[in-house]
Each structure stands twice: as C-alpha cells, then as structure tokens.
Structure 1
Amino acid sequence: MFPITLPEEAALSPVAFELAVQDTHGLEVAARLGADRIELCSALALGGVTPSLAFVEAAVATPGIPPVHVLVRPRPGGFTYDPAETATILQDVRHVLRTGATGVVIGGVRDATVDTDLVKRVLDAAGDAPVTFHRAFDSLPDPVAAVETLAALGVRRILTSAGATSVADALPALAALVTTAAGRIDIMAGGGVTVDLIPALLRTGVPAIHASAKCLIPDDLTIGLGTSSPAGPGGRETTDLGLATALLAAIRAAH
C-alpha cells in the first residue's frame, strides 16, 4: 500500500506485544515490525469480526509473520450467542486452525457470566491451540469470578481493559486482575493503548499488551452502503507503521 522502513531492531521485550491486524498492509507491518503475535480480524471499527479464510491463508503465508491468532466473532454487537451462532463459531475455530492459525480469540456471555459451555466447546475444538478470551470479559459484572472460571477451564489469556472503555481509566483494576490471575492465566492489557500509557501498563504487571495502532486513510464513498457506511467524505482504518513501531519501542525501552 505504501513503503515501509523500520529503525534498527532492538532486543525482544519480555512483555509480549500483540498487534491487531485487519488488512494486508497490517500483515506487512506486523512482519517487518517483529511483533510477538497478531490478532487477525476484520472490521475493527465494529469491534472486530471473523476474517475470511483467504485472509487467514494470506496471513500464515506472509514471510516473517509472527504467530497468528484469529478472532472468531460471528457478528458485531453483544456476546450472547444462540445455537446457530455457536455452531458457526465452532466451525470457524476448526477452519482457521486447519488453515494454519496458531490460536483463536473468542468470547461469550450467558446470564452476565462467562458462557462456560461455549468456552468448553471452543477449547475442545481448538485442541492444543491456545485460546484467548476477548473483551467480552469487560462486560461481566464480576471480573474476579470470571478470571477464576477462565483459568480453571484452561483458557490461555484474557484481553481486557479492566471493565473500562479505555484501559487508562482502570489501571488499579487491571493490576488487581493480574494479582488474581497469579500466573495461571495471562492478563493482556488492551483498549485505548497509547505510547504514553505503556510505562503505567507495565507497572501493573501485565505480561502482554494489545493494540491496533490504527490510522485513517481518506476514502470517500459516492453511494451509501449501510448505516455505518454513509455516502460522502470518510475513510478506512489500517495499521499505522509509525505508531506500531513507537508502541513496541516503548515496551522494549521500559525493560
């Protein structure tokens, strides 16, 4: 899409950096950057939904790409799924792992708690592949109980802003979740992550930080394509190399 150049690479940080990627330019950035893993998705402006299998294939075939963890979310909106949606999630989990993904990112809520039936079925479908529980976690009224539930089930990590829209507004709560997890499950900070916020996030003890590092490319529409895509001046999001580089540099510099 546009040329990519990077500064000389530094040593890898012990705190993992996960980059959310929603297009092929983002794949190029992730491969060049040296991120620890990517979360592959589509439509980040809607919170992210399941990407196409062709995009998963492109990701795992990209030279130098870090481990690919695929978001499996069948639609925008809330996280309570009916049986047909659950079946779609399970099939997508199987499909993306057969395509070569390293892990999957899922979430489900039932009666204001973790949808344990869904999570158990995803874990069974995923086999040895790691499973991340996404920010559906932040909609739960008892996050401590949710950490205990997910750790006991065998989920590898939780992506969370500690219940806030932006993780910057919930740093003490984030630190408390790390304490509750006690190394049994990783607490990965995400949601409104900025370069200036990195030192404070690292002080909470999180072992991983997640960011999308987005920028907006102007891209006018001559016709309306739906309520979220009206005609007129607008744009589309993609990964910003400079921001992604600065985020990773800040994580590494702190160590």
Structure 2
Amino acid sequence: MELCAALGATGGLTPSIGAVRTASATGIDVHVLIRCRPGGFVYSRDEIEVMAFDVAAVVAAGARGVVVGALRADGSVDEAAVAGLVGQARAAGEVDVTFHRALDAAADPVAALRTVAALGVDRVLTSGGAAAAGEGLDMLARLVAEDTGVQVMAGGGVRPETIPALVDVGVDAVHLSAKTVIPDPGATGPGGGAGGGIEVTDPDIVAAARTSAHSNK
C-alpha cells in the first residue's frame, strides 16, 4: 500500500509520521511517498535534503518501502538526487524503493527506466506517459520489454475495468487509489479548507480491482 497525504489536491505529498506509524501497525507493507511539495520534480539541494531526512524518518516509523523521484530541468533523471535517496533508504533498513510518476514527466521514459534500474530502484510507477494508464499501453509495453529487472507497476486513472488490458501488456502490478468521496461531518469554517467532502478508500472498488487483476492470471 502506498501512503501519502493530500492526494486529490496535489497528487500526493509525504504523510505525517503519525499516519505512517498507524498504517504500518496494521501489518500491511506500507510504502510511503516522499514528496516535499506539489508541482514538478526538479528539486533544489535543500528540498533533496528534506526528502532524505523524510526517508530515514518514515523507515524508522515502520515503512517497508519509499516512493521517490527527481528530474533535471531537461527531463532526464537527476541521478545524484535519486542515488542519494536510494542510498538513504538502504542505510535506513531493508526497504523497497519505487520511482514514482516523475517517470511520466521524463523526456525519455525508456532511458529514465534504464537509469533508475542502474541506481538500484526496485520498481517504477507509471501510466506510460499518458493521462491514464489505459491510454499508455504502447509505452507500458515498451517499458516491460526492456527487461531491466525493475518491476513495472501501472498507475494513473486505473479502474477495475481497465486492469485486464494492463495485465495483457505484461505489467508486473497495478496501482489505483480506489477512492470515493463522503460528506464532511463538520463545517470547515474560515481557514478550514474548501470543504466539499472527504476522500476515503472504497473497499468495493478495491475488491473489484483485485478480482479483475487475478481473473487474468
């Protein structure tokens, strides 16, 4: 399970240590998103340092994996930044490292896959460069065909009904938020946010996704 905060508003940010501890206590392997701000994936030295501290902190709080990514302004992988984050993760414990959908913002996703494979990343999360993974099947197939030893996980706009097509192109795993919106039980008030409901995981969508994925095996 990938754990993040502010998914709908920002695409996901690093969650609180309390959230990491609580989720990890369930016994599920929790992989924590390490992303210090919204926006693009070109980071300053200070931002990389913040994320390196966050890697160590979430692993100490029980995370079994971290989800990272960084690019240069030309769209290539920021090798120094990613190597540093991978190194911090390995030093903190025996955890998986996923390169997130910064891959979909890369100038050449195939070259980016090769680069992160050489840096020791275990997995990439990608829509194949499309708005939704179901529209990026050709690129996903190319990434799978690279056979780098890195797991290719399809994510982005995935719904239970789109999973069979993703499985057919050979991806190793699929990733979806499976979210729904429930009414907010309280008023937000001035300074309390925009309101409009609370995003939660829908167990029915999770069950349907699992059934769809496993029915193709």
Same fold (TM over 0.5): yes
Kindly indicate whether residue 33 of structure 2 is the aligned counterpart of residue 44 of structure 1: no
Kindly indicate whether residue 131 of structure 2 is the aligned counterpart of residue 165 of structure 1: yes
For residues 148 and 29 of structure 2, the distance between their equivalents in structure 1, rounded to whole angstroms, comes to: 21
Q: Identity of paired residues, percent?
A: 46
- Give matches, 1:68-83, under 5 Å: 68-83=30-45
Structure 2: 5+ residue stretches without partners: none
Q: CA deviation at 1:183?
A: 4.5
Q: Which has the higher contact order (CA 8 A, sep 6+)?
A: 1
Match of 2:106 in 1: 140
SS at match of 2:42: coil
- Give matches, 1:66-215, under 5 Å: 66-111=28-73, 112-127=75-90, 128-180=94-146, 182-215=147-180
Structure 1: 5+ residue stretches without partners: 1-37
For residues 50 and 81 of structure 1, the distance between their equivalents in structure 2, rounded to whole angstroms, comes to: 15
Return the letter of the residue paired with 1:113. S
| Two-structure CA RMSD over aligned residues (Å) | 1.4
Q: Describe the shift of the 1:166–1:54 C-alpha distance in structure 2 as closer, same or farther (beyond 3 A).
A: same
TM-score, length-normalised on structure 1?
0.79
For residues 78 and 144 of structure 1, the distance between their equivalents in structure 2, rounded to whole angstroms, comes to: 19
Q: How many residues align?
A: 211
- Give matches, 1:237-252, under 5 Å: 237-252=199-214
Q: CA deviation at 1:225?
A: 3.5
Equivalent pair of 2:180/2:201 in contact (CA under 8 Å) = yes
SS at match of 1:94: helix
Residue number among 187, 191, 194 corresponding to 1:230 in the alignment: 194
TM-score, length-normalised on structure 2?
0.93
Q: Deviations over 1:88-143 (max 9, x none)?
A: 10000001111111110011111211111111101111114211000011001111
Match of 1:20 in 2: none
